């Protein structure tokens, strides 16, 4: 028996390792050529401290209080030299990946399909040559063929498959957009680096509210694929907002999720005054019946920066403090702007 351990480094890079039954995370990482911070490896110095909020594990009982206090353990902190996983886990490592003599993984892929699914959105399907493990909601950087430039794209496909899909906004004149619309064809080779990002689905322990703007729907499709397999015992509601009627995409997929995932529901909202859509305005205009439960909710928000800022401002102005708030801005640059509001 072995477990899949995601090591999330401070610089946003995630590396996945297999950890054998009874093996510590530190030893498993070392076996996978990743040198996590350590000094004593005996639970004495505290150098290997990290945190784990996802998965089951044995904290160990041979460490001393100076290395890890009871309070820290209660808050989810761990010592990688002591922690023995008992399931798949996500472990936060509070240093950059480069400090651990590891870095970003590079995978080659072949374009399977590229489709203009609306005037403003492109669906890209890619077959990866190697396994590319990721957490639902994370993204990769894709190199624009013929250039040194990369662009960040969230996976819209389910983790665990080599068949990857992406939902990409068609930005007129944009470098990647122009390649995808004008030149890209089945068989083209692409270089992907990642996975990256701290915007991923946490264990579903209370109601979940998902707020998507435009192609910001992409990471939610991956999260819903995950929930389709793993289920959700909690009300999970998605509000998906776009500018114009024909920007609405993947509605059939969302209907299938609503039919296949117990407790999942969604609604769509169109901002344009000319729209014939029944729900007009912004996602924040349609949250009356969302499962906010006096803050007992985990909120996930993704879309273009102005939309994300507007929703963050709305929550602030209304004095709504969700249990957790995770967001990702689809910034035009390659640098990710992800965050969490406690």
Residue 304 interacts with ligand FAD (CB under 6 A): yes or no: yes
Measured between alpha carbons, how far is 261 from 334 in angstroms, rounded to an integer? 33
Q: Take residue 238 and report the two structure tokens written for it.
A: 């998605």
Q: Which does 279 bind (CB under 5 to 8 A by kind): ligand FES, ligand FAD, none?
A: none
Task: Compare residues 121 and 261 and give the one whose CB is closer to ligand FAD.
Answer: 121
Task: Compare residues 4 and 178 and give the one whose CB is closer to ligand FAD.
Answer: 178
Nearest distance from C-beta of residue 27 to ligand FES, angstroms = 11
Tell me how crowded residue 84 is: count the other CB atoms within 10 A of its CB.
Answer: 18
Measured between alpha carbons, how far is 55 from 297 in angstroms, rounded to an integer? 20
Among 25, 29, 43, 196, indicate the residue that binds ligand FES (CB under 6 A). Answer: 43
DSSP letters spanning 266-310: EEEEE--TT---SSBS-GGGG-TTS--GGG-SEEEEEE-HHHHHH
51-59, 108-116, 275-283, 329-337 -> range binding ligand FAD (CB under 6 A): 329-337
Residue 332 interacts with ligand FAD (CB under 6 A): yes or no: yes
Nearest distance from C-beta of residue 65 to ligand FES, angstroms = 12
Strands 77-79 and 49-54: antiparallel
Task: Compare residues 63 and 134 and give the one whose CB is closer to ligand FAD.
Answer: 134
Task: Compare residues 29 and 239 and give the one whose CB is closer to ligand FAD.
Answer: 239
Measured between alpha carbons, how far is 191 from 287 in angstroms, rounded to an integer? 40
Task: Compare residues 169 and 237 and give the one whose CB is closer to ligand FAD.
Answer: 169
252 phi/psi in degrees, rounded to 5: -60, -40
Element (H, E) at 133: none
60-68, 129-137, 165-173, 185-193 -> range binding ligand FAD (CB under 6 A): 165-173
Q: Which does 301 bind (CB under 5 to 8 A by kind): ligand FES, ligand FAD, none?
A: none
| Upstream peptide bond of 32 is cis (omega within 30 degrees of 0) | no
Find the binding residues for ligand FAD in span 179-208 (CB under 6 A). Answer: 197
């Amino acid at each position: 028996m072995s477990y899949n351990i995601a090591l999330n480094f401070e610089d946003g890079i995630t590396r996945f390792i297999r950890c054998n039954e009874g093996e510590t995370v530190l030893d498993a990482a070392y076996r996978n050529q990743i040198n996590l911070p350590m000094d004593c490896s005996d639970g004495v110095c505290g150098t290997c401290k990290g945190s784990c909020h996802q998965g089951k594990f044995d904290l160990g009982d041979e460490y001393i209080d100076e290395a890890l206090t009871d309070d820290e353990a209660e808050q989810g902190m761990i010592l990688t030299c002591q922690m023995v996983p008992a399931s798949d886990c996500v472990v936060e490592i509070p240093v950059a990946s480069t400090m651990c003599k590891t870095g970003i993984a590079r995978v080659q892929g072949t374009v399977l399909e590229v489709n203009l699914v609306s005037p403003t959105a492109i669906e890209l399907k890619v077959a990866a040559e190697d396994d590319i493990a990721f957490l639902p909601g994370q993204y990769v950087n894709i190199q624009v063929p013929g250039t040194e430039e990369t662009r960040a794209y969230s996976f819209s496909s389910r983790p665990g498959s080599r068949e990857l899909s992406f939902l990409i906004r068609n930005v007129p004149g944009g470098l990647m957009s122009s390649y995808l619309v004008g030149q890209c064809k089945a068989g083209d080779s692409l270089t992907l680096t990642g996975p990256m990002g701290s915007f991923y689905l946490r264990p579903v322990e209370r109601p979940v509210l998902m707020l998507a703007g435009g192609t910001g729907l992409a990471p939610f499709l991956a999260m819903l694929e995950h929930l389709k397999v793993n289920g959700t015992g909690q009300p999970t509601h998605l509000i998906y907002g776009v500018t114009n009627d024909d920007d609405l995409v993947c509605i059939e997929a969302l209907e299938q999720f609503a039919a296949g995932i117990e407790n999942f529901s969604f609604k769509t909202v169109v901002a344009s005054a000319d729209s014939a859509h029944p729900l007009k305005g912004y996602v924040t205009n349609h949250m009356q019946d969302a499962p906010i439960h006096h803050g007992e909710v985990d909120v996930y928000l993704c879309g273009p920066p102005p939309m994300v800022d507007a929703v963050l401002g709305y929550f602030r102005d209304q004095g709504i403090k969700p249990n957790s708030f995770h967001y990702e801005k689809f910034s035009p640059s390659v640098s990710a702007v992800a965050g969490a509001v406690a």
